[in-house]
A and B are shown apart, each in its own frame.
Chain A
């Protein structure tokens, strides 16, 4: 192995060598630089690999042949090697990225770059306090030099502010160093004795050293200077400044916190948390891309700092978690800064230029996912571990703050992503092959990192999970035509279904069928899509992968990872809709919020065990169980869009594409239902403050069922109507589930199946109509029954089924419902459910009437029937609905038996095709028989009498001896339930929308107000810095005494 010292030597040597070159030979200088950086990377990487494989042992390098404290020593262990590799590689890539500007400014700038990388590597490796100071000063000087690379003149001001602040920091650091030396008699970090916090000189010195280093990490709020640099510097340098400098400095901080003893850890935790929260909140108000990245950098580094403090006693675990976060952050942030170099304009919306190059969009998504801690990236495992640790130590407020801040961060990032996907850019992409290569290398590095990190986690390696890989497969396949991809996708789903059904209980089996096989069925509709349909299949299959994994998961980790997969996949899917940007954002925000509630719930339940089997939920300590229940339920209820947490749903479902709406409505909502099933199955009834939580769920279900239906009745947009109806239907299912009896669960199951079928069918039908009419507003349609008879039939069957009118399958649900409520003591919630029933007629009738009946409009007189591929699944659903209505036993009997084993009872008796309960009978075949017989008889009678009826046209109506004026004024459709609105319109009051808007506005307002704090004046920044130091000192001393 070559000596790690060569990293420093190579950097310095090359920098000197550059000085020997002629001014004109920039090209040579650049190659020398790249070669030096390459060599440094090579050395660092080779050490990393060898250390990781255990081929070499960590080494200490003693300079001047003396041991500390008489000389400086450097250390090369696995963490050092890894981080040095990260730094060197980012340096190398940034050099390539900045090629043009480096050449423009000549060899001096390259030398400065080399010195910077060298100094960063030194900072990582050194074990000497003063040496640390020297490297930091070198970094400051080099950074200030590189800031000048930018062609933005504002960078000058930023650089100077940076220097001012650095001066202050260096004063603090030097004083700290000298007094620490005075106290310990050595400058070697390893010799520094653990110092208790207190009003002693040694403590103050330690504090100064620590705070000075922490200040280098740009802690909130003493970080205005750094943000200015991020905003104005060359993106290549910003990448270095954020990724490499941040990484190296953080490691230095870690070293010192390790040395200073456990007393100081809370300092890091506190500052880290404040920074993480503050930076993310303030980022909400940003619309400048690079400044947003700056905020995000600050926040991420704050997060790692928090981990450093919080996990001070984790040993290797700390390196795993913090390292994962840090390297992810480095890669993602570098990648994003490089990307920002390709985006010419600076507004967030200008990132839409990336759409010119789909590969870059994938890279962008990768980086965002890495930062937000989504699977399979290391930050995901880190988040998992961190939250579990917090739960283990019962630091619940900390956990809450952390999760909320993480949520805000995700919201910020996804808001940006949404803008990039949906808005229009003002300037085209500044495309450059080498730039793209650099970005793609970063992206690849991110995936490789995940691949490496996964197996270390002690859980499954999420990158290699088959469904996930299958989803990823569609990234390269995206060049194929959509139809071929569709065939592959359907085949994949079917194969996965066939191979994974073994050993599942009937309940999971049904959910798996709905989610995977149902997905395959719905994908039939996707055959309608023409062209390539880029970016559809990966998210779709990601969502299905998540659902397939969800149902088969056994541990909380698998469950949560699957949950995140399906959330992210569905987010991308929803985002594809034409006007779905705000809705997709609110979807991902709510979903991630729900997911974090799940995470917290699982973590609390696990009590420090990182692997937690779902079935152990039943054995959670009784004092924790109610809280676990609340958190998990909140997570699942977000997904099922229970009233109050529902505001994301209508927009998301309504604005999604034709074949996506049924997926996210018919299938995705079932994920939440499945979660609730698992929850109540494992945890049963829980009481919090004497309130039975399942009763709360019953009420929530009833309220959702009722209000959802009322709101649906007031919609003008057909898909919104269906979306609200989903809320209502899920309310029923939740209600049944929370009744906590056999029939209640069967009811929920029945609703799961039925809702999947008829909601998918209706969404497809309405989507098919929209394909032809290009509108979702029902009052613009009318009279389409003759033009789209098949769609009409499917809507007709759908609404009869959904309204619960015999003989279709919705009636079965109602029948089970009545039998279920007979055995419960809860009575008052029934009122709402009873009220919800007839309201269902309102919106259902409106749906079918205003679209298919009434007066056809001029411009829609010639529309064609919905496309074949959109109709095909509908017809399959129609057939299924009729079969299921006649023979419900074919599915329900097994489920009934299974639920019977859980409750140990048998309320339903299946005799042949007759179902008897303790209270009544349901004989579907007889119902069908009687109804069909009567219907056919009456129909024949009518045909016999009226066979010669004259077919008339739309205006041949009696109109008080007048004639209609125009179809538009004759079609009664808009505000269809005006009388109902007059009476019950008060229920439309947007209580939860106002609440969530208020929360969002408050956050934005806070951010908008608080960011004024960064005045832009260098002196103010310095004052803030000093005040920050004093405040931290006072607080920490106050806390310690």
Chain B
């Protein structure tokens, strides 16, 4: 391959750590010098736990019923599917009647809707948002882009298959799926939750290393702890 200049080869050098995350030493008011290691000092480094179900099946079923009827979606839109979610709040579709509401903060959300293709850059944010949601939590992938890359299957910076990176509970196919399909997806998700099968968070915790490996394989600039509490 004579026509390839070596200088234009793919850069495989590891990305240097962000300046603000590098260990550094600071001087305390008393004049001591202390070491700061931001990743250790600023972030909780515990791994996610696998949370058992409630002791009693009746209670767990009851909880699952509540969970399924109180789906709080994180207001996080990626790709073109984000626009399909808006009609759900309108009189025509009115997802509220199914106990579906939108919350602005991951802490209070239980459903992360990945509404379209995820660029690598957005993936990092999606991972953070997902990990910050309390368990049990659910992930829904919209459109073919999240299933197999869709029309971006050969793109240089989108991920091709969402469940390599996050435990997906429900895919809604289509390009894009219409709001009706979304509603249907929610209904199916509810069924899944009620049946006790929607344990994606536990799956994520169990296979944490695999998920991380996958994530880190595409996210070169990994500037956060392994698990974002």
Contact between chain A and chain B defined by CB under 8 Å: yes
- Whether the pair A956, B44 counts as a contact (CB closer than 8 A) is yes
Complex-state Cα separation, A773 to B125, whole angstroms: 36
Contacts of A773 in B (CB 8 A): 29
- Whether the pair A953, B29 counts as a contact (CB closer than 8 A) is no
Asked if B105 CB lies within 8 Å of chain A CBs, one says yes
Asked if A860 CB lies within 8 Å of chain B CBs, one says yes
Asked if B56 CB lies within 8 Å of chain A CBs, one says no
Complex-state Cα separation, A953 to B225, whole angstroms: 12
- Whether the pair B224, A961 counts as a contact (CB closer than 8 A) is no
Residues of chain B from 85 to 143 with CB closer than 8 A to chain A in the complex: 105-107, 125-126, 128-129, 132
Contacts of B223 in A (CB 8 A): 963
- Whether the pair A858, B36 counts as a contact (CB closer than 8 A) is yes
Asked if A530 CB lies within 8 Å of chain B CBs, one says no
- Whether the pair B20, A956 counts as a contact (CB closer than 8 A) is no
A952 in contact with B36 given A859-B28, A859-B29, A962-B125 (CB within 8 Å): no
Q: How far is the CB of B88 from chain A (nearest CB, A)?
A: 21
Contacts of B50 in A (CB 8 A): none
Complex-state Cα separation, A862 to B36, whole angstroms: 10
- Whether the pair A955, B43 counts as a contact (CB closer than 8 A) is yes
Contacts of A956 in B (CB 8 A): 43-44, 132, 228-229
- Whether the pair A961, B229 counts as a contact (CB closer than 8 A) is no
- Whether the pair A950, B229 counts as a contact (CB closer than 8 A) is yes
Q: How far is the CB of A856 from chain B (nearest CB, A)?
A: 9
Residues of chain A from 309 to 366 with CB closer than 8 A to chain B in the complex: none
Residues of chain A from 757 to 808 with CB closer than 8 A to chain B in the complex: 772-775
Complex-state Cα separation, A962 to B76, whole angstroms: 12
Asked if B34 CB lies within 8 Å of chain A CBs, one says yes
Complex-state Cα separation, A1013 to B126, whole angstroms: 80
* A936-963 contact mask (Cβ, 8 Å, vs B): 1 or 0: 0000000000000011111110100111
- Whether the pair A772, B29 counts as a contact (CB closer than 8 A) is yes
Complex-state Cα separation, A961 to B131, whole angstroms: 10
Contacts of A953 in B (CB 8 A): 41-44, 229
- Whether the pair A863, B20 counts as a contact (CB closer than 8 A) is no
Contacts of B42 in A (CB 8 A): 953-955, 964, 967
Interface residues in B, total, Cβ within 8 A: 30
- Whether the pair A961, B36 counts as a contact (CB closer than 8 A) is no
Asked if B187 CB lies within 8 Å of chain A CBs, one says no
A862 in contact with B41 given A950-B229, A958-B132, A961-B128 (CB within 8 Å): no
Q: For B28, B76, B107, which residue has the most chain A Cβ atoms within 10 angstroms?
A: B28
The A interface, classified by DSSP as helix, strand, loop or mixed, is loop
Our pick among B27, B44, B125, B229 for the contact of A859 (Cβ within 8 Å) is B27
Asked if B11 CB lies within 8 Å of chain A CBs, one says no
- Whether the pair A862, B76 counts as a contact (CB closer than 8 A) is no
Contacts of B38 in A (CB 8 A): 955
Complex-state Cα separation, A958 to B30, whole angstroms: 33
Closest to B76 in A: A961
Contacts of A962 in B (CB 8 A): 125, 128
- Whether the pair B76, A774 counts as a contact (CB closer than 8 A) is no
* A52-88 contact mask (Cβ, 8 Å, vs B): 1 or 0: 0000000000000000000000000000000000000
* A844-879 contact mask (Cβ, 8 Å, vs B): 1 or 0: 000000000000001111110000000000000000
Q: How far is the CB of B106 from chain A (nearest CB, A)?
A: 5
Our pick among B24, B26, B49, B107 for the contact of A958 (Cβ within 8 Å) is B107
A interface with B by C-beta (< 8 Å): 772-775, 858-863, 950-956, 958, 961-967
For the A-B complex with A950-B49, A953-B44, A958-B132 known, give 18 more contacts whose Cβ atoms are closer than 8 Å: A775-B29, A859-B29, A860-B28, A861-B36, A950-B44, A950-B229, A953-B43, A954-B42, A956-B132, A956-B229, A958-B105, A958-B106, A958-B129, A961-B106, A961-B126, A963-B128, A963-B223, A967-B42
Q: List the 8 closest A-B pairs by CB distance, nearest first.
A: A774-B29, A961-B125, A955-B42, A952-B44, A956-B229, A952-B229, A961-B129, A858-B26
B interface with A by C-beta (< 8 Å): 20, 24, 26-30, 32, 34, 36, 38, 41-44, 46, 49, 76, 105-107, 125-126, 128-129, 132, 223-224, 228-229
